[in-house]
Structures are given as structure tokens and as C-alpha cells.
Chains A and B, each alone.
Chain A
């Protein structure tokens, strides 16, 4: 028998090691809800509706999350192939192809596929999507409608405005529209479920959600420490509670525990590696869920990904203005603040908020080299990476490598080629470091 090599990452944080159970628990809760006849919705990350669904008693199943889990277990391939056989292009979002394929296979079998991780995900009672982020978010469930002829609702969630937008001018009507869109979702749910929104509970959940997010953010500030107490392979697991289960009390408990652990490590100078030689930034792109162990490979060179600059968060604190009591307004404000986080800095700096985030983090986290993951099936996170690099180099001379594969589809991943790239990159990082490290360029 051939021994299966480990493809998932080795985590260094005790708290993060529990995420597998946390993740499984999310799916267990959903399967239990379905068994008990409570409504279950297929959901998308970034739609900012965690607390709304929780307050309405709807159990969420984040289909992107399940795509990542299937990829981590390396069971995606048959689902991807099944979706492609239906005519869905092999360059469409890996999460999307995975779950469309999963849904088809389950329907054809008449039961849950035996190898479905976490015991599978329940059949949805509704499909809830939005326009935040990428085009797949509002298109995917239109396609899913071919297989689930069930109530479906989509709504607008604001984009990151382009670099030259006058954000002061747009804020009033963007916020107004966002609040209205959330209300429309509530109207849809109230009508479908025959019950009213519990506004007090929603307000409580939003407050707790903010606390979870802020605790997460505070914990990550501790990663500036030398040596860094937490690496990116842990981050991509640590996002699960906030991105896919923000409204639960377990999420707040998770980030409090993470904060405590990182604080302890900082206090005792305990890093990811005993000898942290190089500090790296995950500068863009989603992770390769199928082979997260590749991040550990950098550590064999003494390199640690000490921070990320991706759209998965965390996001900084924001002030809830006095008198703002409508939880939908607070949710809209939260969304707004997440989208314009680096705006003011970008105006004074490179002009592009996503690049400014990278530039700021290079300085704040004392970075020696950057890596971007070009994920073949994700245009939203991948398009612009070359441009970002070109812009970064105008401000700071720093080594940057591109890794190419996919979020889910392991067929787009070449282990030997990737490792060769890493080897060459680490030589460059070492050479830079010996010559004094990153250098601000004339444009800065």
C-alpha cells in the first residue's frame, strides 16, 4: 500500500489546530438543523449577512468553505469533472465547480457521497447570494438553480471602489443603498419563513460580531513581533470562524483564545520557528487548499509568512457613531470600512488601496519578501497581481514571487515546479537580505 503523503499544513498555533473541529462543527450544525426541519441556506462569503441569517434562525452553509474543505481532503476531482461534464468551463471558480459537481453527484446517487468530508453538507432550502467581490457570487447560484429549484435571492454588496473614486462623495448613497439591500434580504426571509426579524437579537449579534472581528484584528497586530508568533498557514485556517461563522459565540471564544495564545508567545518570545531568518508577506491571492503544506516548505529555509494582504481580513476597528442604533446601518458601515480600509493612505501614497495595503504591511511587519498566489480559477483575486508587483517595485525594491495553481483544482498544481520556484525565490531573498534587505526606491 502506498502511503499517502500529507498535503495539509502543519499549524504552529494550538488554537488554530482546533479549527478542523470548528469547521466540522459548522457542517454538523447544518446537518442537524436540516434533520430537525430548520431552514438551511447555501451562502457566500463576503455577503455580510451572518448576523441577519442567525437572527432569522437560518443555518448557513458556505459553499466556498465546503469547496476548500473538499480540496484539503483531496476529494474534489470527481466533483470538478462532473461539473465540467455539464458544460461548466474548467477555468470557472474551483469552489463553484466543486459544489455544483457535489450537488449533481449527490442527486444522482440519491444520498450523500460516501467520501464527502464532514459527513457532507445538507440539501439547501434556499440559495442566498450577493454581488460582493467576484462575479461568481451572483452567477453561481443562478447555475445552481438548475439542480436546486428552491427559493433564491441575491442582493448588492458594495465593491472595493476603484483607486480614483472620491469616496467622500459616494459614501452617503453607497451606505443608503447597502442598508436598503440588507432590508430587502430581511423582507425576503420574513416572507419565506413566515416570521419577523428579532431586531434586538440582531443588534446583539452585530455587536458580538464586531467584537469578534476586532479581537481577531488585535491578535494579528501581535504578529509584528520578532519572531512572529503565527504564520499564514494558520491564518488561512483562522479565517474560518470570521468568514463562515461570524455570528456564533464560538467565534468570539476562538479569537479570544487566539489572542491569548499569541500574546503569551510574544511575551515569551516564542516564534513559529526558533530561528526566524526571513519574514515573508502573503501579498495576494487565495490559498491552495489542496496543498497547504507548501507554505510549510518555505519554513525549511527559515522563512515565515508573518502576515497577509488579502481580502479575507482581518479588518481594523471602526467607530460606531453615537446614535447609530440600526444594526443594518452598522453592518453597512462595517462593510464600507472594510472596503475603503487603505484609502486615505493610498491617496498620500501609491494611489491604489490594495497595493497600499501591501506597502504598509511590508513596513509594519518588517518584510523581506512577498509571494502572490495566482489562482487560475479566481479572476477577482488574481487579476492585477502583475500590476500590483510593478507598482510595488516603484516604491520598494523587494523580492516577490508568483506561485501558480488553484484554490481547489489540484490538476492546476505542479509540486516540482512550485518548489523550484520557491528555491529560487528564497535564494533571492537571502541575497537581498545579505545586501541590506529591502530598499525604498526613489519614487517613495
Chain B
């Protein structure tokens, strides 16, 4: 009897639990699989080259046992976790590693990972130098970097990335983004139609399969959720802001404590997909502009034109809009220790929301389930305060 293909949220659960499953299947079918870090990696170019890009995820449940022989314990624990997993051979199936210049941690990781210390060194590795500034010339600089990246992928794969292929790829990703936005829209109502925990699983699932499959999966998920009869009980609506959240542990803890995470801005969340790429004559420039100007990562610097308040509006106004639109009652800042860019922003973001009347819980954590458990009391106290 043939195995029934899992669909919708059932498929999401399968992919969430077996994150490398689909990539390994595709690899066995002869596809080229590449791992990438962070929100600045231009997935459209990779897909246009026929590559399957999969996001490098850490594992909050797995103790770091090998990475300490290669990277310092003061490194971002997410980065340490990724390296640890790679050293254990769990990323041996990737043909390539793509790291955009995000921060000091990923800069260090790239050199270490690519140096031949993992069981199977990726045949291809590429570092994309992303400017921190957002001047028009910064985008032009990034355009050149993207052009070089495109050429190197063409050379590696032997596949010419034509304008048509790139256009198609951009459209696929824009479709993916639109579907995710639609899904997020289902969380606006009270109570939301899906939980933050479910959303986290969906986000992870969408990052470990090809974009075409991700679009199909999202279509199934949206249909399934729209037809839901059992609506979750209304709880305190929260926004979660922070870095890498690729496991449900934190979100589950928050939701088990009596809240609904209805919107987020983290590395797999809206930061990674909210803005489309414009399809026009200069596609590389459209990509450059989208990744440098629209990905609201603290590693990208927005020039301050006027006073501090205006600067904060300029940097975090989008987050405030999310808070209003999704009618949140409080904000949780989940900051991974040793992530300097987030840690330097955190007091300002906290103050920004508090001045607007939102209670804020600022959590500094180690990207590990062993420490997440200790947060329960703080989250519960925070929710009691809001209620």
C-alpha cells in the first residue's frame, strides 16, 4: 500500500521534526543543495541557478560538544550551535555554504566552517559582503557583490542564470512572501486562527524545502486553517522581537503561560519575508535594494536625519505598526546573548515601546532549551502584570 503523502500542517510537522529530510531526498535525486545563513542571502539567485537553498538552523535541544574546540564560548550561541551540528556531520549533505556579511559572529563562522574542519567540507563556499549603510551607493555596492555571487554560482553549477530564470525565481519568492503575509493575516483577528507555535513550525518548514514546494505547502496550510472549526481560546496577544527563533520551545512556553504570540519580528519571521522584490529591468538592483533597504535587521544602519525620536520611528516604526495592527498587549524582546547588534538596540526598543504604553519583557538568553525553562516564571509574571 503506497504511503499517503502528508499535507498541510501534518506535512509541516513532519518537516519541522525532520529538517534535513527533504533536502537529502533532493540531493539523492541529483539536486544541488546549499546552506545559507541569515536574512541577507539572496535566495532568488540560488534558486534561479537550480539550487535548493536551505536555511542553516541550529538546535536548541542539542548540547554544544564539538564547537568549543574551534570557536570561543563568547560567540553567539546560535552560531556555535550551527558549527557544532556541522562538526557532527549533520550538514554533510550540503554542496555549498553561503554566508552574507551579517555580523562579527557569522564573519568568524564562515572562515572556520569553510576551512576543512567539518567531516565533508562544502565544495562551494561564498561570502557576500553586505554594506551596513543604506545609501544609494551602498545598494550599488551590494549589487556588484550580488553580480559576483551570481557569476560564481553559474560557474559552480554550469547553469546560466538568465533574466527569465531570475524573474521566475523572484516571482516564486514573492508568491511565497504573499502567502506568508496572508497566513500572518489570519492571526490579526481575536482569537487568532493559528498559534505562534504553529507559525514557528511553518516558518521552519518553509525554509528547508524548495520555494515551489513551500508555496504549495502554504496553500494547503492556509486552506486548512481557514476551515478550522476549533478556534484557539483568546489569550493575551503578544509581539515577539529578537534574533534566531527556529524552535518552538520559547513560543510554546509563552503560549502555555497564557498568551498568544500573534506577530513576530525575528530571523525566520517577518524580517525574512515581509517585503517583496520588485520585478523590473534591473533585477540584481531590485534584489540589492530589497535586501539592503527592506530587511530590518539591526546589522543594517539607518542614517539618522533628525532627532532621536524620529530616528527611533525610522528604525522601529514598522514594529510599532505591527503592534497596533495585530492589537498586541505586550512585547517580548528575545535577545540571544553575545549578539551585539540586538543587545545594543534592546534598551532603546524597550524604551520605545514602553513610552507608547506597551509593557515589555526583555529576555537575554542562550539559545538553549536548558535555559528557556528558567524563563517560565518571568513570562508568567509578565503576563500577570499585563492582565
Which residue numbers of A lie inside 8 Å of B, CB to CB? 86-89, 91-93, 96, 131, 134-136, 138-140, 142-143, 145-146, 149, 151-156, 159, 161-165, 169-170, 173, 177, 180-181, 184, 351-352, 374, 376, 379-380, 382-387, 390-391
Choose among A86, A139, A140 the residue with the greatest number of B CB atoms under 10 Å from its CB: A139
Q: How far is the CA of A138 from the CA of B301 in the complex (A)?
A: 7
Indicate if the CB atoms of B108 and A145 lie closer than 8 Å.
Answer: no
Distance (whole angstroms) from the CB of A405 to the closest CB of chain B: 12
Indicate if the CB atoms of A153 and B303 lie closer than 8 Å.
Answer: yes
Question: Is B322 interfacial (CB-CB < 8 Å)?
Answer: no
User: When the two chains form the complex, which single residue of A164, A380, A382 contacts B125, counting CB atoms closer than 8 Å?
Assistant: A164
Q: How many residues of B contact A (CB 8 A)?
A: 56
- Beyond A142-B304, A184-B135, 7 additional pairs, beta carbon < 8 A: A87-B346, A139-B298, A146-B308, A164-B125, A169-B148, A184-B137, A380-B104
Chain B residue numbers with a CB within 8 Å of A165 are 127, 129
Q: Which of B33-86 contact A (CB under 8 A)?
A: 68-72, 74-75
B116-147 Cβ-contact flags toward A at 8 Å (1 or 0): 01000000010101011101011011001000
Q: How far is the CA of A96 from the CA of B347 in the complex (A)?
A: 14
**With A135-B341, A162-B110, A162-B111 as given contacts, are A143 and B104 in contact (CB-CB < 8 Å)?**
no
Q: How far is the CA of A161 from the CA of B311 in the complex (A)?
A: 31
The residue of chain A having its C-beta at the shortest distance from the C-beta of B102 within the complex is A135
Indicate if the CB atoms of A177 and B104 lie closer than 8 Å.
Answer: no
Residue pairs across A and B with Cβ atoms less than 8 A apart, 9 shown, are A131-B131, A146-B351, A152-B304, A156-B131, A156-B133, A170-B148, A181-B135, A379-B340, A384-B111
Those 3 A-B pairs whose CB atoms lie nearest each other, nearest first: A87-B347, A383-B108, A131-B132
Indicate if the CB atoms of B72 and A88 lie closer than 8 Å.
Answer: no
The residue of chain B having its C-beta at the shortest distance from the C-beta of A351 within the complex is B115
User: When the two chains form the complex, which single residue of B71, B74, B114, B299 contacts A376, counting CB atoms closer than 8 Å?
Assistant: B74
Chain A residue numbers with a CB within 8 Å of B362 are 87
Indicate if the CB atoms of A139 and B107 lie closer than 8 Å.
Answer: no
Question: Is B17 interfacial (CB-CB < 8 Å)?
Answer: no
Chain A residue numbers with a CB within 8 Å of B129 are 159, 161, 165, 170
User: When the two chains form the complex, which single residue of A152, A164, A384 contacts B114, counting CB atoms closer than 8 Å?
Assistant: A164
Indicate if the CB atoms of A177 and B72 lie closer than 8 Å.
Answer: no
Q: How far is the CA of A387 from the CA of B127 in the complex (A)?
A: 18
User: When the two chains form the complex, which single residue of B115, B125, B137 contacts A180, counting CB atoms closer than 8 Å?
Assistant: B137
The residue of chain A having its C-beta at the shortest distance from the C-beta of B309 within the complex is A149
Indicate if the CB atoms of A92 and B344 lie closer than 8 Å.
Answer: yes
Q: How far is the CA of A374 from the CA of B129 in the complex (A)?
A: 26
The residue of chain B having its C-beta at the shortest distance from the C-beta of A402 within the complex is B72
Distance (whole angstroms) from the CB of B229 to the closest CB of chain A: 44
Chain B residue numbers with a CB within 8 Å of A391 are 115
Indicate if the CB atoms of B115 and A387 lie closer than 8 Å.
Answer: yes
Distance (whole angstroms) from the CB of B245 to the closest CB of chain A: 18
Indicate if the CB atoms of B347 and A146 lie closer than 8 Å.
Answer: yes
Chain B residue numbers with a CB within 8 Å of A163 are 111, 114-115
Indicate if the CB atoms of A142 and B347 lie closer than 8 Å.
Answer: no
User: When the two chains form the complex, which single residue of B74, B101, B112, B350 contacts A379, counting CB atoms closer than 8 Å?
Assistant: B74
Indicate if the CB atoms of B72 and A385 lie closer than 8 Å.
Answer: yes
Choose among B71, B117, B347 the residue with the greatest number of A CB atoms under 10 Å from its CB: B347
Chain B residue numbers with a CB within 8 Å of A149 are 307-308
Q: How far is the CA of A151 from the CA of B311 in the complex (A)?
A: 11
Q: How far is the CA of A135 from the CA of B342 in the complex (A)?
A: 10
Question: Is B212 interfacial (CB-CB < 8 Å)?
Answer: no
Chain A residue numbers with a CB within 8 Å of B117 are 387, 390
Q: Which of B212-227 contact A (CB under 8 A)?
A: none
User: When the two chains form the complex, which single residue of A143, A151, A385 contacts B344, counting CB atoms closer than 8 Å?
Assistant: A143
Question: Is B313 interfacial (CB-CB < 8 Å)?
Answer: no
The residue of chain B having its C-beta at the shortest distance from the C-beta of A162 within the complex is B127
Chain A residue numbers with a CB within 8 Å of B195 are none
Indicate if the CB atoms of A135 and B74 lie closer than 8 Å.
Answer: no
Chain B residue numbers with a CB within 8 Å of A386 are 68-72
**With A143-B344, A154-B301 as given contacts, are A379 and B308 in contact (CB-CB < 8 Å)?**
no
Chain A residue numbers with a CB within 8 Å of B308 are 145-146, 149
Indicate if the CB atoms of A145 and B347 lie closer than 8 Å.
Answer: no
The residue of chain A having its C-beta at the shortest distance from the C-beta of B112 within the complex is A387
Indicate if the CB atoms of A92 and B137 lie closer than 8 Å.
Answer: no
User: When the two chains form the complex, which single residue of A156, A162, A387 contacts B132, counting CB atoms closer than 8 Å?
Assistant: A156
Question: Is B167 interfacial (CB-CB < 8 Å)?
Answer: no
Question: Is B348 interfacial (CB-CB < 8 Å)?
Answer: yes
Distance (whole angstroms) from the CB of A355 to the closest CB of chain B: 9
Distance (whole angstroms) from the CB of B221 to the closest CB of chain A: 36
Chain B residue numbers with a CB within 8 Å of A88 are 343-344, 347
Chain B residue numbers with a CB within 8 Å of A152 are 304, 311
Q: How far is the CA of A245 from the CA of B133 in the complex (A)?
A: 26
Distance (whole angstroms) from the CB of B231 to the closest CB of chain A: 37
Q: How far is the CA of A93 from the CA of B343 in the complex (A)?
A: 11
Indicate if the CB atoms of A387 and B71 lie closer than 8 Å.
Answer: yes
Chain A residue numbers with a CB within 8 Å of B140 are 177
Indicate if the CB atoms of B71 and A92 lie closer than 8 Å.
Answer: no
Choose among A87, A96, A138, A383 the residue with the greatest number of B CB atoms under 10 Å from its CB: A383
Q: How far is the CA of A135 from the CA of B70 in the complex (A)?
A: 21
Distance (whole angstroms) from the CB of B250 to the closest CB of chain A: 18
**With A180-B137, A379-B75, A383-B108 as given contacts, are A352 and B344 in contact (CB-CB < 8 Å)?**
no
Q: How far is the CA of A430 from the CA of B115 in the complex (A)?
A: 32
Question: Is B337 interfacial (CB-CB < 8 Å)?
Answer: yes
Chain B residue numbers with a CB within 8 Å of A135 are 103-104, 299, 340-341, 344
Q: How far is the CA of A89 from the CA of B363 in the complex (A)?
A: 11
The residue of chain B having its C-beta at the shortest distance from the C-beta of A163 within the complex is B111
Q: How far is the CA of A232 from the CA of B128 in the complex (A)?
A: 35
Q: How far is the CA of A165 from the CA of B72 in the complex (A)?
A: 24
Question: Is B272 interfacial (CB-CB < 8 Å)?
Answer: no
Q: How far is the CA of A135 from the CA of B71 in the complex (A)?
A: 18
Q: How far is the CA of A368 from the CA of B242 in the complex (A)?
A: 46
The residue of chain B having its C-beta at the shortest distance from the C-beta of A173 within the complex is B144
Indicate if the CB atoms of A181 and B304 lie closer than 8 Å.
Answer: no
Indicate if the CB atoms of B347 and A91 lie closer than 8 Å.
Answer: no
Distance (whole angstroms) from the CB of A421 to the closest CB of chain B: 16
Question: Is B364 interfacial (CB-CB < 8 Å)?
Answer: yes
Distance (whole angstroms) from the CB of B90 to the closest CB of chain A: 20
**With A142-B348, A156-B131 as given contacts, are A352 and B107 in contact (CB-CB < 8 Å)?**
no
Chain B residue numbers with a CB within 8 Å of A387 are 70-71, 108, 111-112, 115, 117
Indicate if the CB atoms of A379 and B104 lie closer than 8 Å.
Answer: yes
**With A142-B348, A177-B141, A391-B115 as given contacts, are A159 and B343 in contact (CB-CB < 8 Å)?**
no
